[in-house]
């Protein structure tokens, strides 16, 4: 037998008994090797000496990672809010821009929102070059990639008003959370206060169903019902917009020139389409009214543009002086002499 692993396999000899000669030979017990034991202890100490520094290094790395976890996470974490930037102060009637920054992790839509104030409204330019009012307290969609919005505040009254402007990111996935950010803007009065215009409250009147008729293009028709101005300068204008065509109209808007002290042009927000035969009764209330001409024009892509405009003259009420001179007849008296 050949043994190739030297120093790792020990062969133990057993006692042999020889009876032929009557003499018993007992081999001497094998002596222990002191050099092998010293080598074993030195190997154990070497292994322990190499393991302990590794454990210390691993513990140090784990401790450093636990301390730097907030800093590392902040490098790769998407901001939880939208950074909204707007001027600190804007004068009524001046156009300004509100912008925002946000790295959206998914597809979605941006919307603009501002809190309702009794004496404040915000307008924004539309594609046809005019201005449209943004409803307060409701999300106004501004697109999927837009990062700025032009606004023109209209403040009635003489008190400075603070308003919070909020931008909301609405993810396309319904399971994701919305993200938003806000900025405050102080709106100061202009040199000439703008007239107070009450919100338009449309009254949709649906007519009874009529028999089917051949389809024809939509035709919006506007007519003025009444315009009045009282002595305090409050004006009320009522006008009706109807679809006299044979098809549903598209989205439309209307604009009005109001007879005020400095003249004022009002442009409505986008109006809902009208079905054939439907009409909307609109009422505009405004202040600082004077005598002049009230006009309204409907902006729509319909077949007949000639009936999309109407105007009516209005005059201030006249209240004659109630004091009348009285004629007193007195007898003629001669001059007093002395």
Going by pLDDT thresholds of 50, 70 and 90, the confidence category of residue 214 is low
pLDDT at 324: 41
Q: Do 172 and 272 fall within a single domain?
A: no
> How many domains is the chain partitioned into structurally?
2
Chain centre distance of CA 146: 11
Tell me what the mean pLDDT of segment 67-88 comes to: 66
pLDDT at 316: 84
CA distance 299 to 301: 7
CA distance 168 to 156: 28
Going by pLDDT thresholds of 50, 70 and 90, the confidence category of residue 295 is very high
> Closest Cα partner for 15 from 5, 25, 6, 30?
25
Q: Do 155 and 211 fall within a single domain?
A: no
pLDDT at 163: 92
CATH for 285: 2.60.40.10
- Domain assignment present for residue 67? The answer is no
- Domain assignment present for residue 300? The answer is yes
Going by pLDDT thresholds of 50, 70 and 90, the confidence category of residue 96 is very high
Residue found under tokens 């949709």: 204
CA distance 135 to 183: 18
Got the DSSP string for 248-301?
Answer: ----BEEEEEE-BSS-EEEEPPPBPP--TT-EEEEEEEESSB-SEEEEEEEE--
Going by pLDDT thresholds of 50, 70 and 90, the confidence category of residue 4 is very low
Q: Do 207 and 310 fall within a single domain?
A: yes
Going by pLDDT thresholds of 50, 70 and 90, the confidence category of residue 313 is very high
8 Å CB contact between 200 and 254: no
8 Å CB contact between 222 and 298: yes
- Domain assignment present for residue 165? The answer is yes
Q: Do 167 and 212 fall within a single domain?
A: no
E strands of 156-263, at which residues?
Answer: 161-171, 179-188, 203-205, 220-229, 235-243, 253-258
Q: Do 180 and 207 fall within a single domain?
A: no
CATH for 111: 2.60.40.2410
Mean pLDDT of the chain: 77
CA distance 312 to 225: 10
- Domain assignment present for residue 78? The answer is no
Q: Do 153 and 89 fall within a single domain?
A: yes
Tell me what the mean pLDDT of segment 239-251 comes to: 92
pLDDT at 291: 87
pLDDT at 167: 92
Which residues are CB-contacts of 23 (< 8 A; sequence separation ≥ 6)?
Answer: none
Task: State what percent of residues in the chain have pLDDT above 70.
Answer: 69
CB burial readout 89-119, b (16+ within 10 A) else e:
ebebbeebebebebeeeeebbbbbbbeebeb
pLDDT at 202: 67
- Domain assignment present for residue 101? The answer is yes
Residue 21 burial (CB count, 10 A): 7
CA distance 195 to 263: 9
- Domain assignment present for residue 30? The answer is no
Last residue of a domain, one of 137, 153, 188: 188
Q: Which residue has the higher pLDDT, 203 or 82?
A: 82
Query: Across the strands, what pairs with 155?
Result: 120
Tell me what the mean pLDDT of segment 298-320 comes to: 85
Radius of gyration of the chain (CA): 46
CB burial readout 29-46, b (16+ within 10 A) else e:
eeeeeeeeeeeeeeeeee
Q: Do 164 and 220 fall within a single domain?
A: no
Q: Is 105 helix (H, G, I), strand (E, B) or coil?
A: coil
8 Å CB contact between 243 and 277: yes
pLDDT at 12: 41
* pTM (two decimals): 0.37
**pLDDT per residue as tens digits for the range 51-64:** 777 878 787 777 66
- Domain assignment present for residue 124? The answer is yes
Q: Do 226 and 277 fall within a single domain?
A: yes
Max mean pLDDT among 11-25, 162-176, 318-332 falls in: 162-176
**pLDDT per residue as tens digits for the range 126-151:** 877 788 889 898 888 888 887 899 99
Tell me what the mean pLDDT of segment 20-31 comes to: 48
Q: What is the span of the domain harbouring residue 131?
A: 83-188
Q: Do 91 and 152 fall within a single domain?
A: yes
Q: Do 220 and 183 fall within a single domain?
A: no
Q: Kindly report which listed range (13-17, 69-73, 250-254, 291-295) carries the lowest average pLDDT score.
A: 13-17
- Domain assignment present for residue 59? The answer is no
Chain centre distance of CA 177: 14
> Closest Cα partner for 259 from 311, 294, 310, 223?
294
């Amino acid at each position: 037998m050949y043994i190739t692993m030297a120093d790792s396999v020990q062969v133990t000899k057993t006692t042999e008994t020889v009876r032929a000669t009557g003499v018993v030979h007992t081999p001497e017990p094998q002596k222990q090797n002191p050099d092998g034991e010293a080598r074993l202890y030195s190997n154990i100490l070497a292994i322990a000496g190499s393991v302990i520094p590794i454990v210390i290094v691993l513990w140090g790395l784990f401790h450093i990672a636990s301390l730097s976890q907030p800093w590392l996470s902040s490098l790769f974490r998407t901001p939880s809010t939208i950074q909204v930037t707007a001027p600190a102060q804007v004068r009524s009637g001046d156009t300004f821009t509100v912008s925002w920054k946000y790295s959206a992790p998914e597809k979605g839509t941006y919307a603009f929102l501002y809190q309702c104030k009794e004496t404040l409204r915000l307008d924004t330019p539309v594609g046809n070059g005019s201005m449209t009012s943004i409803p307060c307290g409701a999300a106004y969609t501004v697109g999927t990639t837009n990062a700025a919005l032009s606004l023109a505040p209209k403040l009635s009254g003489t008190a400075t008003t603070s308003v919070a402007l909020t931008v909301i990111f609405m993810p396309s996935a319904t399971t994701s959370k919305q993200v938003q950010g806000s900025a405050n803007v102080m709106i100061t009065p202009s040199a000439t206060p703008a007239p107070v215009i009450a919100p338009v409250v449309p009254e949709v009147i649906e007519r009874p169903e009529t028999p089917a008729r051949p389809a024809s293009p939509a035709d919006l028709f506007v007519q003025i019902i009444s315009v009045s101005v009282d002595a305090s300068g409050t004006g009320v204008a009522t006008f009706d917009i109807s679809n006299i065509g044979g098809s549903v109209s598209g989205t439309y808007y209307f604009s009005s020139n109001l007879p005020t002290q400095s003249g004022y042009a009002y442009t409505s927000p986008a109006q809902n389409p009208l079905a054939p035969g439907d009409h909307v009764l609109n009422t505009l209330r405004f202040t600082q009214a004077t005598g002049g001409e009230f006009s309204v024009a409907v902006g729509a892509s319909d077949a007949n543009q000639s009936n999309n405009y109407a105007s009516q003259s209005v005059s201030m009420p006249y209240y004659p002086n109630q004091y009348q001179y009285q004629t007193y007849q007195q007898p003629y008296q001669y001059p007093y002499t002395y």
